Amino acid sequence: MTLRAHTLKSAPGSRHSRKRVGRGNASGHGNYSGHGGKGQTARSGGNAGLKLKGFKMLLQSTPKLRGFKSLATKPMTLTLDDLEKNFNDGDVVTVASLHEKKVISKTVAAAKVVNTGELKKKLVLEGIKTTKTVAEIIKGLGGEVK
């Protein structure tokens, strides 16, 4: 069949016949013609606000979310005691080695060492953030912060 102006047809189910209302009670759409009973809902444009009234309490009880949540990955805090317990003298400390020794969980992507506790071992930190004092302590012991 060739595609011509007289052969065009709409897709099945895409066209609906208009609902004829107000043609007697036997039609099923008589009396109120699908507009319900009396009052606000019977008027044209009168029922738009009613949907929002039940929603108002929910809106009022929802706490306001102030500020914003940063998407930057926050490093997990480690102490010098954690390094002292889990690593030997001369070890290289990386995020992967922290995962292996189960010092931090697999979901944590970054770590930062803070000055809490004591460290007596010479360690090399690679790809791990530190505070200034921790960097001084590690360099004082002969270690490195890369």
112 three-class SS = strand
Residue 114 lies in a domain: yes
Task: Give dist(CA 125, CA 94) in Å, integer.
Answer: 6
pTM above 0.75, yes or no: no
Q: Nearest Cα to 121, choosing from 93, 95, 94, 146?
A: 93
Residue-level pLDDT at 39: 86
Q: Nearest Cα to 116, choosing from 136, 91, 129, 133?
A: 133
Residue 138 lies in a domain: yes
How confident is the model over 90-114, as a mean pLDDT?
92
Work out the percent of the chain whose per-residue pLDDT is above 70. 99
How confident is the model over 9-18, as a mean pLDDT?
93
Task: Give dist(CA 78, CA 5) in Å, integer.
Answer: 76
Work out the percent of the chain whose per-residue pLDDT is above 90. 51
Burial state string for 85-94 with b = 16 or more CB within 10 A and e = fewer than 16: ebbeeebebb
How confident is the model over 41-51, as a mean pLDDT?
76
Residue 139 lies in a domain: yes
Residue 77 has pLDDT above 90, yes or no: yes
Residue 94 has pLDDT above 90, yes or no: yes
Residue 52 has pLDDT above 90, yes or no: no
Residue 34 lies in a domain: no
Residue 16 lies in a domain: no
- Cβ burial, residue 25 (10 Å; 0-12/13-18/19+): exposed
Band (pLDDT 50/70/90 cuts) for residue 51 is: confident
How many distinct structural domains can be found in the chain?
1
Q: Which CATH number goes with the domain that contains 119? A: 3.100.10.10
Please, are residues 50 and 40 in contact by the beta-carbon 8 Å criterion? yes
State the residue range of the domain holding 122: 76-145
Residue 115 lies in a domain: yes
